[in-house]
A and B are shown apart, each in its own frame.
Chain A
Amino acid sequence: MRSMTITEKILAKHCGKKEVAPGELINAKVDIALGNDITAPIAIREFRRIGATKVFNKKKVVLVPDHFTPNKDIKSAEQCKILRDFAIEQKLTHYYEGGEVGVEHALLPEKGIVVPGDVVIGADSHTCTYGALGAFSTGVGSTDLAAAMITGELWFKVPQSMKFVFKGRLNKWVSGKDMILRVIGDIGVDGALYRAMEFAGSAIKKLSMDSRMSMCNMAIEAGAKSGIIEPDDVTMAYAAKRAERPFKFYASDDDAVYAGVSEYDCSILEPQVACPHLPENTKNVGEVKNVSIDQVVIGSCTNGRLEDLEVAARILKGKKVHRYVRLIVIPATPLIYAEAMKRGWFDIFLKAGAVISPPTCGPCLGGHMGILAAGERALATTNRNFVGRMGDPRSEVYLANPAVAAATAVKGKIAHPDEVV
């Protein structure tokens, strides 16, 4: 039998074959199919248009209206109502709104809806996040979602894999966000086009689940189909107490074939900042110091988890946000929100002068809750800094980790955390 990567093994299992090879077109069973308030309305429209009446499995179709919620305006309310009506009609197990909704890619792993070894598709490009659990997960369009909702299957081209091996100890204030930004800076926004990015090495083994999710989340920013990390003890500790289904660990064969292998020494990695208007425009934070900032956003499916809020709280403790900076903190899920409050971080944020938003995508995609005017500049822990991503097309977004974001909020210009603490 040919040697396979973890991605190839998961795909082979889900299409009922002993082995698959890159380039092969397969029809694979889907464990979870996800849609949100932007993409699901089109999928539901298509679902009805071709005469479908029932989803393949009411436990496996997940709808999360998180982008424009709490409903921003009448139009978004109408989009969300399409999801709500469909969820009620189909009796979907996993539909979340109101005080139960969170940013989808933080919510699904937290609730144990996605588990190691799964094939997950989502009509949202950052569906690749769940690779952190050792699942094959990938973003697709609304038509794909409709097809998966009906049949429980979808066509895939088996991707080639690229391996990124991280060694050495991470410096203070450096996290998974910096590791992935560095990779994107090196290979570019299409550097992994059509491929699976596999993150490995001793530094990955030591990485928290939150940081692993930040990394896999941004695989799409290098054009990748998916990002994945071999499950280990950290995965087991995370999944064991959450998984709602039995799960399986897959691992790459030692002699599996990769389209490329690159190595990174974490000990020389500094906090990274991606400058406008592409995530590949990465620099060491020291090279972009003194860029003045009007707004800082800490949140999103990339960095709105506990670890992210914790480091922000550590830096902001006893500090004041710069007089002319708006700091918006968005815990990604209700559980993270409650936990952050319990641990006293809300006091720190509020005393510092931050706004605390309910869980939502909000400003990450220029939706609501923190839109930029022409000429304004934001630093955000989100994943995209495209033209107009957070508001007016003449505004700018810089991407960084939450520590840099918190320090920047205090200084009013892009800053290294050491300058503040």
Chain B
Amino acid sequence: MKLRGKVWKFGADIDTDRIIPARYLNTSDPKELATHCMEDEDPSFASKVRPGDVIVADKNFGCGSSREHAPIALKAAGVACVIARSFARIFYRNAFNMGLPILESAEAVDTAENGDVIEADMDTGEIRNVTKGLGFKARPVPPFMQELVKAGGLLESIKKRGAVV
């Protein structure tokens, strides 16, 4: 799977309350969540983000709560992929379980600026900053997790195993 989009750059330790503030968690409707995505960090984000855009963030992206509303809001807002120096554990797990593409690459993060155009190949982990003419390789994803994504997420893989009653 290949992606191409414009960069939205964020700092370190972007917590789940910033991705989707808890005050909006009385719903799980993706469209509604999307309208508040990143609201406390950048109030204009939800109205300006375009389908296919890429979030590039520093370390520990998605720390805090276990809410799947965070990857759901990002996906519904049109974010195609998140590239970060590192991800918080539950966010990382959630992203794979529900099919939000994410990649870890310190170099891609260090060199990217707001508005750069970035290409990412989710199969090979290759990232290209088209604006700057730079190429990087993301940290490889364990084969088990690649399988999860190929199966269409955790629940689909369970279904294929015939474990649903």
Chain A, Cβ-Cβ closest to B153 = A143
CB-contacts of B113-165 with A (<8 A): 142, 144, 153-156, 158-159, 163-165
Contact of A193 with B60 in the complex, beta carbons under 8 Å:
yes
Contact of B64 with A384 in the complex, beta carbons under 8 Å:
yes
Chain B, Cβ-Cβ closest to A194 = B89
Q: Which stretch (B24-32, B47-55, B73-81) binds chain A? A: B24-32
Chain A, Cβ-Cβ closest to B32 = A75
The size of the chain A interface, using a CB distance under 8 A, is 57
Contact of B68 with A79 in the complex, beta carbons under 8 Å:
no
B58-95 vs A, CB cutoff 8 Å, 1 = contact: the mask equals 01100111111100100000000000001011100110
**CB < 8 Å neighbour of A75 from B26, B63, B142:** B26
Contact of A53 with B21 in the complex, beta carbons under 8 Å:
no
Q: Is A54 part of the binding interface, using a Cβ–Cβ cutoff of 8 Å?
A: yes
Contact of B165 with A140 in the complex, beta carbons under 8 Å:
no
| Bound CA–CA A371/B26 (angstroms) | 15
Contact of A144 with B154 in the complex, beta carbons under 8 Å:
yes
Measured between C-beta atoms, what is the minimum distance from A80 to chain B in Å? 10
| Bound CA–CA A260/B153 (angstroms) | 34
The size of the chain B interface, using a CB distance under 8 A, is 43
Measured between C-beta atoms, what is the minimum distance from A70 to chain B in Å? 13
| Bound CA–CA A142/B70 (angstroms) | 11
Contact of A367 with B23 in the complex, beta carbons under 8 Å:
yes
Q: Is B110 part of the binding interface, using a Cβ–Cβ cutoff of 8 Å?
A: no
Contact of B66 with A125 in the complex, beta carbons under 8 Å:
yes
Q: Inside 8 A of A157's CB, which chain B residues have their CB?
A: 142
**CB < 8 Å neighbour of B66 from A140, A190, A194:** A140
Q: Is A252 part of the binding interface, using a Cβ–Cβ cutoff of 8 Å?
A: no
Whether A147 touches B155, Cβ cut-off 8 Å, given contacts A39-B68, A125-B90, A189-B13, is yes
B19-49 vs A, CB cutoff 8 Å, 1 = contact: the mask equals 0011101111000000000011100000000
Q: Inside 8 A of A139's CB, which chain B residues have their CB?
A: 66, 90
Q: Is A155 part of the binding interface, using a Cβ–Cβ cutoff of 8 Å?
A: yes
Q: Which stretch (A10-18, A44-52, A232-240, A322-330) binds chain B? A: A44-52
| Bound CA–CA A79/B89 (angstroms) | 26
Contact of B144 with A387 in the complex, beta carbons under 8 Å:
no
Contact of A389 with B22 in the complex, beta carbons under 8 Å:
yes
| Bound CA–CA A146/B163 (angstroms) | 12
Contact of B66 with A278 in the complex, beta carbons under 8 Å:
no
A61-73 vs B, CB cutoff 8 Å, 1 = contact: the mask equals 0000001100011
Chain A, Cβ-Cβ closest to B143 = A25
**CB < 8 Å neighbour of A386 from B59, B64, B164:** B64
Which of A73, A79, A155, A278: most chain B CB closer than 10 A? A155
| Bound CA–CA A72/B72 (angstroms) | 23
Measured between C-beta atoms, what is the minimum distance from A386 to chain B in Å? 4
Q: Inside 8 A of B60's CB, which chain A residues have their CB?
A: 189-190, 193, 223
Measured between C-beta atoms, what is the minimum distance from B82 to chain A in Å? 15
| Bound CA–CA A19/B160 (angstroms) | 29
Contact of B90 with A79 in the complex, beta carbons under 8 Å:
no
Whether A123 touches B89, Cβ cut-off 8 Å, given contacts A50-B164, A189-B13, is no
Contact of B93 with A140 in the complex, beta carbons under 8 Å:
yes
Measured between C-beta atoms, what is the minimum distance from B26 to chain A in Å? 4
Q: Is A124 part of the binding interface, using a Cβ–Cβ cutoff of 8 Å?
A: yes
Q: Inside 8 A of B15's CB, which chain A residues have their CB?
A: 384, 386-387
Which of B142, B153, B155: most chain A CB closer than 10 A? B155
Contact of A72 with B88 in the complex, beta carbons under 8 Å:
no
Q: Inside 8 A of A76's CB, which chain B residues have their CB?
A: 26
| Bound CA–CA A75/B88 (angstroms) | 29
Q: Inside 8 A of B67's CB, which chain A residues have their CB?
A: 38-39, 141
Which of B26, B28, B93, B159: most chain A CB closer than 10 A? B26
Measured between C-beta atoms, what is the minimum distance from A26 to chain B in Å? 10
Q: Inside 8 A of A208's CB, which chain B residues have their CB?
A: none
| Bound CA–CA A243/B155 (angstroms) | 32
| Bound CA–CA A278/B97 (angstroms) | 27
Contact of B90 with A141 in the complex, beta carbons under 8 Å:
yes
Whether A144 touches B21, Cβ cut-off 8 Å, given contacts A50-B155, A76-B26, A150-B164, is no
Contact of B66 with A386 in the complex, beta carbons under 8 Å:
no
Q: Inside 8 A of A142's CB, which chain B residues have their CB?
A: 68, 94
Contact of B64 with A190 in the complex, beta carbons under 8 Å:
no
| Bound CA–CA A124/B66 (angstroms) | 5
Chain B, Cβ-Cβ closest to A191 = B60
Can you offer 7 A-B residue contacts whose CB atoms are under 8 A?
Answer: A139-B66, A142-B94, A147-B154, A157-B142, A190-B60, A193-B86, A367-B25
Interface pairs A-B: 9 shortest CB-CB = A141-B94, A143-B97, A393-B40, A365-B22, A76-B26, A75-B26, A190-B60, A125-B66, A139-B66
